[in-house]
Amino acid sequence: MVRKIALEEHFLCPGFEEYWRNSVASVDPQVVNGLSARLADFGERRLQAMDQAGIARSVLAIAGPGVQSERDIATAERRAREANDFLACEIANRPQRYSGFAHLAMQDARSAADELERCMGDLEFCGAMINGHTNGQYLDHPSLAPFWERAEALQALIYIHPTDPIAPSPALADIDGLRRATWEWGFETGSHALRLVFSGLFDRFPGARVALGHLGETLPFLLWRFDSRAKLYGVKLRRRPSDYIRQNIVVTTSGMCAAAPLDCTVAALGGDRVMFAADYPFEQAAEAGKFLDETPLAAPLREDIAFRNAAHYLGLPNP
């Protein structure tokens, strides 16, 4: 069993339950209650799941959407800071096992930038997890330039996690099984990342670094087509779309325990751009760990995905 650093691992702090419960409104209440208990636990239950998967360190983040769905800006800023302080206290109890991603109130770019800097400095977090759009505003919006300027200067990894779209797609109407994690979230989050590419955000902030889960939300499969259609439609960028995806975006294995998409992602992006994640407690950590341990990979590549790439991008010690 190879030792692992896991990057998309979730928790909830007191007072955040209602933000999260909207995203699981269609899930069996008994399942939701079980998830709630695991999200609130930082002790033996979580550590046992980590040990079964070979996870030496989990990078923890609020289960979304958190304060990004909060309409009152002052409340969002206050509660994001409280959540980060809460997580810092839990990390301090087990600093060898836990690290953290900042939770940010993206309603105000400068305030979010200040909180990111505080979290990466005072609290020693490794970046931030942003749960998609914030009340309909995506991360390419011009008003967020001060945030990206600071994130670039801090060399912060900004992990874009799925959230519900602003409005459900008519194509999914009456087919509830395609909603959320099955298909809707992947399309939503992949489209969000493409907005950053096609809007020219990475031309303006070439050092910005973004992470996507689920092996890149299908983007690695479509690199050639993005380049071809950008040329056809006269998209004005300094480089090809695929170049930004390969150079500014890294991905994790969260929720993707299958060899074929992993092989595609490694071939498309490079083995140095893929990192391990279990997506606990929404996926089984043991299953994710077993997959990475047993899927056919050269030993150096397996270790790169398991921990070396995360140590490099997040400044964490090798396990």
Q: To the nearest whole percent, how much of the chain has pLDDT over 90?
A: 94
Residue with token string 């060899």: 259
At 242, which amino acid appears? Answer: S
Three-state helix/strand/coil letters over 257-289:
CCHHHHHHHHHHHCHHHEECCCCCCCCCHHHHH
Cβ contacts of 277 within 8 Å, gap of 6 or more: 6, 7, 8, 9, 213, 252, 253, 254, 288
What's residue 23's pLDDT?
Answer: 81
Q: Where are the domains of the chain?
A: 4-314
Active-site residue set:
279
Helices (H), the chain: 17-21, 29-39, 44-53, 73-93, 109-121, 145-154, 184-198, 201-204, 214-217, 223-232, 241-248, 259-269, 285-294, 299-303, 309-314
Q: Residue 227's CB: how many other CB atoms inside 10 A?
A: 17
Query: Which CATH topology does 4-314 take?
Result: TIM Barrel (3.20.20)
Interstrand relation of 127-130 and 98-100 (parallel, antiparallel or unpaired) = unpaired
Beta-bridge partner residues of 275: 252
Q: Which DSSP string corresponds to 45-99?
A: HHHHHHHHHTEEEEEEEEPSSGGGG-S-HHHHHHHHHHHHHHHHHHHHHSTTTEE
Q: Residue 237's CB: how many other CB atoms inside 10 A?
A: 15
The predicted-structure confidence for 73-107, as pLDDT tens digits, reads as follows 999 999 999 999 999 999 999 999 999 999 999 99
The predicted-structure confidence for 148-163, as pLDDT tens digits, reads as follows 999 999 999 999 999 9
The predicted-structure confidence for 101-142, as pLDDT tens digits, reads as follows 999 999 999 999 999 999 999 999 999 999 999 999 999 999
Interstrand relation of 98-100 and 274-275 (parallel, antiparallel or unpaired) = unpaired
- CB-count burial class (<10 Å; 0-12, 13-18, 19+) for 30: exposed
- Please give the Cα distance from 102 to 19 (Å, whole number): 17
